[in-house]
C-alpha cells in the first residue's frame, strides 16, 4: 500500500514559503517512497502567509491594490485574497502596514498608522464580500487601529475640532470621536480577526510594553504609547460606551485588534484554528499515514498557538504520527512530545551559518525528510 502524507507546514521566515516547504518535503519523501501520495496544506497562523495559504488551498484569487504604507506619506502596492466564490476576503494587515516595509532607521510607532489596512478593508467591501478575515501578525503600528477607522470614515477631532494626525503618538490629542461617517457596510459584514496574540491593549502585558521595542520604540516611547492607548480606550468607553481593552487579543498589532472590535464589530479567533478550519485539515489528516509540519523555529512558545502545535493537536485527536521540522529547535520542546508531536527535527547541518541556512533551507528540509524516513520502516 502506498503511504499517504499530509504536508502542513507554516512558512520558514525569510527562507521559504509554506508552499515551498511542502514541495521540499514532497521531494524528500519521493526519494524514499516513490509511490507515496500527498496532500499539500500550506498553513499560517494569521501572520505572514495567511492570504497565500488560504488562496492556494481553496482555489481563491488575488486582488491587487495600492494603499497607504506604515508612514502616511508612503504608498504600497500589495494584495489581498478572495475565497469562497468571492464571498470572503482574506487580508494580512502586514501587507499594508508591516514591519518589513520600513528600514530599521525609519521605524517609529509614534508615527506609523494602520490607515492602509482600513483602505484594504474598504476595497474588500467594494467587492461586495459578506465576510472578511484579517490576519494581524507582523505589524509596525501602535495606533489602536485609529488609522484603520479613519480610512473607513471615522473622525478623531482635537480641542479645536480639527482632525488629529495618524500614529500612536497623537492619540492623546483626540477630544471627540465622530463615527457618523463610518462605512455603514461594516454592519452588514462578518469580520473575523485571526491572531495568535492574546495580549490586552494596555499595561505590562499590553501592545506597547510587549511589542513596542521591536517596532523601534525606546523606553520613553513605550511609556508614552501605553499612556496614549489607555487614554484612547477611556475615550472610546466614555463616548461610544464600548470597553474591550482587556479582551485577549485587543493588543494584537499595536491595538489594531481593539480598533477592529470597536469600529468594525470584529470577533477574534486563534489564527491557526481558523486556518485549520478553512482548509479542512482534519478531514485530510484522517486519511494520512504521516503528518509533516514545521516552521522556522520550534521552542517553548510553539504551544502558545503556533502552527505546528495546531496541526499536532488535530493529528493527536485522530491518532496520527506528527513529525515537525524546524530551522532552529529551541528550549522547552520536551513538553511538546506529550502534546501530539512524535518527532521534532532540526533541519540545519552542524556548524551552519545563518546565511547558509537561509539560502539552502529547501535543500536542508528535503535532506532532513530523507534522513527521518530512512529510519522509519519502509
- Digit-coded pLDDT (tens) for 215-271: 999 999 999 999 999 999 999 999 999 999 999 999 999 999 999 999 999 999 999
- Looking at residue 378, its pLDDT comes to 54
Give the three cell numbers for residue 175: 477630544
pLDDT the model gives residue 304: 81
- Domain shared by 249 and 145, yes or no: yes
Same domain flag for 38 and 132: no
State the pLDDT at residue 301.
85
Q: Are residues 188 and 264 in the same domain?
A: yes
**197 and 236 in one domain?**
yes
Would residue 8 count as lying in a domain?
yes
Q: Is residue 278 part of a domain?
A: no
Total domains, the chain: 2
Q: Answer whether residue 114 is part of any domain.
A: yes
SS (H, E, C) 316-334: HHCCCCEEEEEEEECCCCH
pLDDT averaged over 10-residue windows placed end to end, the chain, 378 residues: 96 90 98 96 91 92 98 98 98 96 96 98 98 95 98 98 97 98 98 91 96 96 98 98 96 97 96 94 97 95 90 97 96 93 95 90 97 84
Last residue of a domain, one of 272, 306, 330: 272
Is 286 within the bounds of a domain?
Answer: no
CATH number at residue 27: 3.40.50.10350
Say yes or no: 22 and 86 in one domain: no
Q: Is 282 a member of any domain?
A: no
Q: What pLDDT is stored for residue 105 in this prediction?
A: 95
DSSP string, 287-320: T-SEEEEEEEEESTTGGGT-HHHHHHHHHHHTT-
∠ Cα 134 205 212 (to 5°): 70
Say if 279 falls within a structural domain: no
- 277 lies in a domain? no
One domain, residues 215 and 354:
no
Q: Are residues 108 and 202 in the same domain?
A: yes
> Distances from the Cα of 215 to the Cαs of 74, 98, 100, 181, in angstroms?
17, 10, 10, 31
In 103-251, which ranges are continuous DSSP H helix?
A: 115-126, 146-151, 207-211, 219-240
Name the 3-class secondary structure at 336.
Answer: helix
Question: Within this chain, do residues 229 and 304 fall inside the same structural domain, yes or no?
Answer: no
Q: Residues with Cβ < 8 Å from 27, sequence gap 6 or more?
A: 366, 369
Domain residues for 31? 4-43+292-375
Is 160 among the domain residues? Answer: yes
Q: Which residues pair with 76 in a beta bridge?
A: 67
pLDDT of residue 354: 86
**The pLDDT of residue 196:** 77
Write down the pLDDT at residue 377: 64
DSSP track, 209-252: HHHTGGGT--HHHHHHHHHHHHHHHHHHHHHH----TTSTTTTH
For 317, the grid coordinates are: 485527536
Give 44's contacts (C-beta < 8 A, 6+ positions apart).
10, 11, 18, 50, 52, 53, 54, 135, 271, 272, 275, 307
Shared-domain flag, residues 327 and 342: yes
What is the model's pTM? 0.90
Per-residue model confidence (pLDDT) at position 351: 87
Amino acid at each position: 500500500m502506498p503511504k499517504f502524507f499530509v504536508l502542513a507546514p507554516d512558512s520558514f521566515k525569510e527562507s521559504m514559503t509554506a508552499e515551498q516547504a511542502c514541495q521540499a518535503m514532497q521531494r524528500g519523501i519521493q526519494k524514499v517512497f516513490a509511490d507515496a501520495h500527498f496532500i499539500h496544506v500550506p498553513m499560517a497562523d494569521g501572520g505572514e502567509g495567511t492570504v497565500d495559504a488560504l488562496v492556494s488551498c481553496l482555489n481563491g484569487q488575488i486582488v491587487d491594490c495600492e494603499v497607504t504604507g506604515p508612514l502616511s506619506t508612503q504608498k504600497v502596492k500589495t494584495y489581498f485574497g478572495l475565497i469562497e466564490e468571492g464571498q470572503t476576503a482574506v487580508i494580512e494587515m502586514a501587507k499594508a502596514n508591516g514591519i518589513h516595509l520600513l528600514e530599521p532607521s525609519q521605524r517609529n510607532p509614534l508615527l506609523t498608522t494602520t490607515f492602509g489596512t482600513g483602505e484594504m478593508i474598504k476595497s474588500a467591501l467594494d467587492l461586495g464580500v459578506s465576510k472578511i478575515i484579517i490576519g494581524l501578525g507582523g505589524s509596525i503600528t501602535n495606533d489602536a487601529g485609529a488609522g484603520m477607522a479613519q480610512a473607513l470614515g471615522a473622525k478623531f477631532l482635537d480641542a479645536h475640532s480639527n482632525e488629529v494626525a495618524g500614529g500612536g503618538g497623537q492619540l492623546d490629542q483626540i477630544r471627540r470621536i465622530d463615527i457618523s461617517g463610518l462605512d455603514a457596510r461594516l454592519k452588514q459584514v462578518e469580520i473575523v480577526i485571526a491572531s495568535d496574540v492574546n495580549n490586552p491593549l494596555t499595561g505590562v502585558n499590553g501592545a506597547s510594553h510587549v511589542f513596542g521595542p521591536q517596532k523601534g520604540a525606546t523606553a520613553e516611547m513605550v511609556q508614552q504609547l501605553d499612556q496614549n492607548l489607555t487614554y484612547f480606550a477611556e475615550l472610546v468607553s466614555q463616548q461610544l460606551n464600548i470597553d474591550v481593552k482587556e479582551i485577549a487579543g485587543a493588543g494584537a498589532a499595536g491595538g489594531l485588534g481593539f480598533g477592529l472590535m470597536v469600529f468594525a464589530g470584529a470577533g477574534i479567533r486563534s489564527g491557526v484554528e481558523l486556518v485549520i478550519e478553512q482548509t479542512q485539515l482534519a478531514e485530510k489528516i484522517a486519511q494520512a499515514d504521516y503528518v509533516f509540519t514545521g516552521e522556522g523555529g520550534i521552542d517553548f512558545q510553539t504551544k502558545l498557538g503556533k502552527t505546528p502545535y495546531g496541526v499536532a493537536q488535530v493529528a493527536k485527536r485522530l491518532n496520527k504520527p506528527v513529525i515537525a521540522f524546524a530551522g532552529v529547535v529551541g528550549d522547552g520542546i520536551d513538553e511538546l512530545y506529550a502534546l501530539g508531536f512524535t518527532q521534532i527535527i532540526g533541519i540545519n547541518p552542524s556548524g551552519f551559518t545563518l546565511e547558509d541556512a537561509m539560502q539552502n533551507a529547501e535543500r536542508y528540509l528535503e535532506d532532513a525528510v530523507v534522513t527521518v524516513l530512512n529510519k522509519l520502516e519502509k
